[in-house]
A and B are shown apart, each in its own frame.
Chain A
Amino acid sequence: QVQLVESGGGLVKPGGSLRLSCAASGFTFSDYYMSWIRQAPGKGLEWVSYISYSGSGIYYADSVKGRFTISRDNAQNSLYLQMNSLRAEDTAVYYCARVHNNYVDLQEYWGHGTLVAVSS
């Protein structure tokens, strides 16, 4: 069965950096686009980024463009999100998701999320 396990969250000061990881199993990782979505405490869902099979196609939300970098390692079945210049408004649970093969915008399976808190 599809499993997505995020890690790397924690407390970081404004302006700091953090790298999130998502370990995938139960499917052929290189056959799927992957994405990151976040949810601020008590708020709705916000799409962050997605990456194509090989990593050649990458898109970001305007709110994180230039600060966050998505990447993947197909040999390690892993997805990453490098977050730099973190702000208080980046505080959220970050979910990784497997994208549906027929819909580039459809998050078919979700992990349980990892909490990132940005505070001094």
Chain B
Amino acid sequence: QSVLTQPPSVSGAPGQRVTISCTGSSSNFGAGYEVHWYQQLPGTAPKLLIYGNNNRPSGVPDRFSGSKSGTSASLAITGLQAEDEADYYCQSYDISLTVVFGGGTKLTVL
């Protein structure tokens, strides 16, 4: 059971907007720790997508955005493209000084 909770799957048609939720607790998000998001394309290593709640590393399209409020966070993808089909993971820090991940969400582009 993952410390952060994500829906197992989401889907959307090309061009649509989808969101992926990530629910934490008082020991991670509620303690003020930020959320980071990773994208894992099939058969590849994870790649950093969003950090510090809503910051994009260089090269990540602005179609991807993140937010956090209280003990919840979300990743939004607008203008959905076929190449966005991947697994997405949220991640944060815990008051026990350990790194915690969500269980991952599989995005299907219809």
B100 pairs with A47, CB closer than 8 A: yes
B46 pairs with A110, CB closer than 8 A: yes
Partner of A95, one of B46, B93, B101: B46
- Per the bound structure, the CA–CA distance linking A62 and B101 in Å amounts to 14
Is B24 an interface position by the 8 A CB rule?
no
A110 pairs with B47, CB closer than 8 A: yes
- Per the bound structure, the CA–CA distance linking A105 and B93 in Å amounts to 6
Is A73 an interface position by the 8 A CB rule?
no
Q: How far is the CB of B101 from chain A (nearest CB, A)?
A: 5
Is A11 an interface position by the 8 A CB rule?
no
B45 pairs with A45, CB closer than 8 A: no
B93 pairs with A44, CB closer than 8 A: no
| Smallest CB gap from B89: residue in A | A45
Partner of B101, one of A44, A59, A104, A112: A44
Q: How far is the CB of B69 from chain A (nearest CB, A)?
A: 19
* Count of chain B residues near A, Cβ 8 A: 27
Q: How far is the CB of A42 from chain B (nearest CB, A)?
A: 10
Is B110 an interface position by the 8 A CB rule?
no
- Per the bound structure, the CA–CA distance linking A105 and B99 in Å amounts to 6
Partner of A111, one of B34, B45, B57, B104: B45
Q: How far is the CB of A95 from chain B (nearest CB, A)?
A: 6
Partner of A47, one of B40, B52, B101, B104: B101
* B44 / chain A contacts, CB cutoff of 8 Å: 112
Name the interface residues of A90-105: CB closer than 8 Å to any CB of B.
95, 100, 103-105
Chain A, 53-66, contact with B by CB distance < 8 Å: what is the 0/1 string? 00000010110000
A45 pairs with B101, CB closer than 8 A: yes
* B33 / chain A contacts, CB cutoff of 8 Å: 105
Is B66 an interface position by the 8 A CB rule?
no
- Residues of chain A at the chain B interface (Cβ within 8 Å): 35, 37, 44-47, 50, 59, 61-62, 95, 100, 103-113
Q: What are 20 A-B pairs at a CB distance below 8 A?
A: A45-B101, A45-B104, A47-B91, A47-B99, A47-B101, A50-B99, A62-B98, A103-B51, A105-B33, A105-B92, A106-B48, A106-B51, A107-B38, A107-B48, A108-B51, A108-B57, A110-B45, A110-B47, A111-B45, A113-B45
